[in-house]
Amino acid sequence: MLLGVIADDFTGAGDIANTLAKGLADGGGLAVAQYMGIPDAPAHPSIEAGVISLKSRSAPVAEAVAQSLAALAWLQAQGCRQFVFKYCSTFDSTREGNIGPVGEALADALGVRGVIACPAFPTVGRTVHQGHLFVHDRLLNESGMQNHPLTPMPDPDIRRWLSQQTKGPVGLVPAAIVRQGPTAVRLALEAAGNRGESLVIADAATDDDLVVLGRAAADAPLLTGGSGIAIGLPANFIAAGSAKGHETRYAGMDGPDAILAGSCSGATRGQVERHARHHPVLPIAVDSVMAGATGPGDLVAFLQGHAGRKPLAYSSGTPDDVRAAQARYGREAVAERLDALFAETARRLVDAGVKRLVVAGGETSGAVAQALNLGELEIGPEIDPGVPILVSAKRGVSLALKSGNFGRETFFATALDALKGGPV
């Protein structure tokens, strides 16, 4: 294995696995496998990039650090030469962590300083300028992320935000240096490391900027960022003769299907509304779940009762709805109960023969993936930017695990068709 990725949630892991499998258009990608948690056996020798999916984004800081270091140890044992700590392109974190503590812990373990930190993903509108994170034409704190139920982001200055999570100072490689090319970036990172800056925010507004950062870090033991930071990494290994270039293939999977949505993002709410125009949908009331009146059996009965019609069960309230429910029951209690509901529903569905499953929401996807015990996942074609087809040979199921903010308006129906082998 050449490259190891430690991802702080399950949808993000699929996102960067997809990026590494695609690579650049003219060079191909790497042979990638995604793992749900830290494997208990060695990777297959054919795997060039391994992506470990953790559920550490909203975990206590100490737990997130411990999980990430354990993942690093497994990847080192597979022979990886370079490592990426993958977090969300909207820098999802609290004031205390977990991006800063995990990033610093990995840097310390590898004995490096001047490590790139770049969440940019221009394809879906996430760009960084002078250390400030934008979502399309809005600063992060005006994009809706300020209302995130678990990791609200009130500050678009991610250098300042990250500085509150780290022990040491946080550096910046501004756009003016990035545009000078890889050598200028590499020298800037070396200078930052000499100043004691473990993590260094790097500006990026285009994929070309991200390729420059990737080339600058060709020999760097560690990078951190969103999936975009990996765009240029396969080409480094191919140019060095360590990898030959790999193309993703997928034959399709037929059989029963279902959709579960637990994201409250504006994008997912719009996708639910669009899907409801032509397909059966089941809204899930938080009060009913918390009272024990709605459980997995109710969701399974609805989804199986509408088999073949792309049925959807969802809990995707407005920011006001979410705040009200959290005020009544507690933020952690609501999240845990809904995650458990979707996880058990997915387990029952797959045990009953569902072959194609679409899940929206990072936390929901993580809970579902853990419940299904999917084993090693093969990376298929990209459905929408950041969302690949995932195939579990162990469970005989194909999945699309979608971050809440990703996907076109018709994503749910499009994803199920793609899992069946249709065009993407």
Q: Is 8's pLDDT higher than 70?
A: yes
What percentage of the chain reaches a pLDDT higher than 70? 100
The length of the chain is 424
For residue 249, being part of any structural domain is answered with no
Q: Which positions ≥6 away from 321 have C-beta within 8 Å?
A: 264, 286
Write out pLDDT tens, residues 290-319. 999 999 999 999 999 999 999 999 998 888
Q: Is 126's pLDDT higher than 70?
A: yes
pTM: 0.85
Write out pLDDT tens, residues 254-293. 999 999 999 988 899 999 999 999 999 999 999 999 999 9
Looking only at the bridges linking them, the beta strands covering 132-135 and 126-129 are antiparallel
Domain boundary among 172, 205, 239: 239
The tally of domains found in the chain comes to 2
348/230 same-domain check:
no
125/162 same-domain check:
yes
- Per-residue DSSP letter, 44: P
53/187 same-domain check:
yes
Take residue 277 and report the two structure tokens written for it. 């125009």
Looking only at the bridges linking them, the beta strands covering 312-314 and 397-402 are unpaired
Phi, psi of 52 (to 5 degrees): -95, 120
For residue 246, being part of any structural domain is answered with no
What's 317's domain CATH number?
3.40.980.20
Write out pLDDT tens, residues 227-255. 999 999 999 999 999 998 887 888 899 99
Take residue 352 and report the two structure tokens written for it. 């009953």
320/228 same-domain check:
no
> Taking residues 371-388, what's their average pLDDT?
92
For residue 150, being part of any structural domain is answered with yes
The alpha carbons of the chain give a radius of gyration, in whole angstroms, of: 20
> Taking residues 217-229, what's their average pLDDT?
97
Q: Which pLDDT value is given to residue 11?
A: 86
For residue 369, being part of any structural domain is answered with yes
Q: Which pLDDT value is given to residue 158?
A: 97
229/262 same-domain check:
no
Domain hosting 320: range is 257-419
For residue 323, being part of any structural domain is answered with yes
210/289 same-domain check:
no
Give the whole-angstrom CA distance, residue 268 versus residue 405. Answer: 6
